[in-house]
Amino acid sequence: MAEFTHYLRVFPGMRIASTAPDFAALHAAYAERHADVAAQVVPWSPDSFRSARAVSLTFLNNAHHWVDELDRHSVPFVFTLYPGGGFELGEARSMAKLKRVLASPMLRSVVATQPVTVETLRPLCRVPVLELPGLVISPAYLAADAVRRPPAAGEGLRICFAAYRYDAGGRSKGYPEFIAVASELARRRSDLRFAVAGNFNASDWPIPEHLAPRLSFVGPLPTQELRQFFLGQDVMVAPTMRFALTGTEFDGFPTGSCVEASLCGVAIICSDELEQNRHYEDGREIMICKPEAASIIGPLEALARNPDRATQIGKRGQQRTGTLYGIAAQLLPRTRLLRSLADDVGIRL
C-alpha cells in the first residue's frame, strides 16, 4: 500500500487498476486515509491495457496472467518478482510462468528482492535486473516518534511471534517451533511473557497447559496498532521454513514482519536456510538460527539472562533496518525505474 500510494503522489497521471471483487468497499476505506490520490485508483476494465502506455506489475502470477494482453496491445511493462505469488524455486509450473513472462518482447526490467531470485533470473533474463533487498514498508515505521514501552517491574523479556498463517498449523512460518520454544522457556523461567500477532489462535497448535496463561493472541492488527504492539516487545522469533509445504516455496529474508518489528527496536531471532543475509551482522544486529526449537532455546534463554544485550541487538538492528528499508533505499530506486520506463515510451511526467 505504501509503495503504490507513493507512486500515485509522484506520478499524478498514474492509475492503479484493481480487480478486487469488493472494489467499492475497499476503495472507500482507502479514500478515508488517502483522499488526495483515491481518484487515481480505479476498477479494472477490459480497456485498462488498451489505453495504457506503460504498466508495472507485482508478483509472478499477476505478470503471467496479463502478459498475453500486454503483448497483444504492445504495452511495455516492468514487474517485481517477490517470493510467493506463484514464484517457487525450481517448481515446473512456476518456472514455465517465469520463462513466459521473461520472453515477452514488451518486458523492460525486473525488480528482484532476494539474492536467490537474482540467481534464478540471471541466466533467463535478457532485460536488466534491479536487485532491491526486501520490500517497501509503511512510512509509519520510519517515523521518528517511536517510544518503546519498558517492561513492568519484575517482568522479563517480552517475546513475540508475528506472521500471517497460510497453512494448517502455520508450519511454514515456524509457529509450532515458536510454541515449543515458549513452552520450554516458560518451564525454566517465570518472568517471561509471550505474544502472537497475526491470524493465529489457540486452536491452531496445541498449547501446553503451563504456557497458556502466559501466552496472548492479539490477532491481525492494522499498521498503527501493530507498530504499538512491537514497541512493547523485546524479542521476535521468526523460524520460517523453506519448502515446508510444496518442497519449492520459500519466504523472503527477513520477512516483512521482521522488518517492521526491527524498525521498532525489537531484537530479531530468525532463520535463513537459503543464506540470503547480505547486510546484517549476525549476533550484533540480528541473530540467525535454524528453524528448530533446540537451536533457538539456548540463545533466547541467554538473552533472558542478559536483557541489556537484547536491547543492544534491537537498537543496532533498528539502525541497520532503517538504512536498508528507508525511502532512499527502497522507494527512490523504484521511482527511478518507473520514470525511466515513462521516458522510454514518451510519457511526460
Fold of 141-324: Rossmann fold (3.40.50)
Confidence bin at 250 (pLDDT 50/70/90): confident
Domain boundaries, the chain: 2-139+326-344, 141-324
Query: For residue range 174-214, what is the model confidence (pLDDT) as tens digits?
Result: 999 999 999 999 999 999 999 999 999 999 999 999 999 99
* Stretch (H or E) spanning 111: strand 107-112
User: How many angstroms separate the CA atoms of 87 and 116, rounded?
Assistant: 12
How many CA atoms, within 13 angstroms, populate the side-chain half-sphere of residue 87? 28
Cβ-contact 224, 278 below 8 angstroms: no
Secondary structure (3-state) at 112: strand
Nearest to 348 by CA among 73, 4, 7, 13: 13
Query: For residue range 31-63, what is the model confidence (pLDDT) as tens digits?
Result: 999 999 999 999 998 888 888 999 999 999 999
Lowest mean pLDDT across 93-107, 199-213, 247-261, 270-284? 247-261
Q: At CB < 8 A and 24+ separation, what contacts does 98-105 make?
A: 98/60, 98/64, 98/124, 99/124, 100/64, 100/67, 101/60, 101/63, 101/64, 101/67, 102/126, 102/127, 104/67, 104/70, 104/71, 104/77, 105/71
Cβ-contact 252, 117 below 8 angstroms: no
Whether 245 shows a pLDDT value over 90: the answer reads: no
175: its cell numbers: 509457529
Cβ-contact 262, 324 below 8 angstroms: no
Q: Indicate the DSSP class of residue 253.
A: S
User: How many angstroms separate the CA atoms of 59 and 185, rounded?
Assistant: 39
Q: How many residues does the chain have?
A: 349
Cβ-contact 253, 272 below 8 angstroms: yes
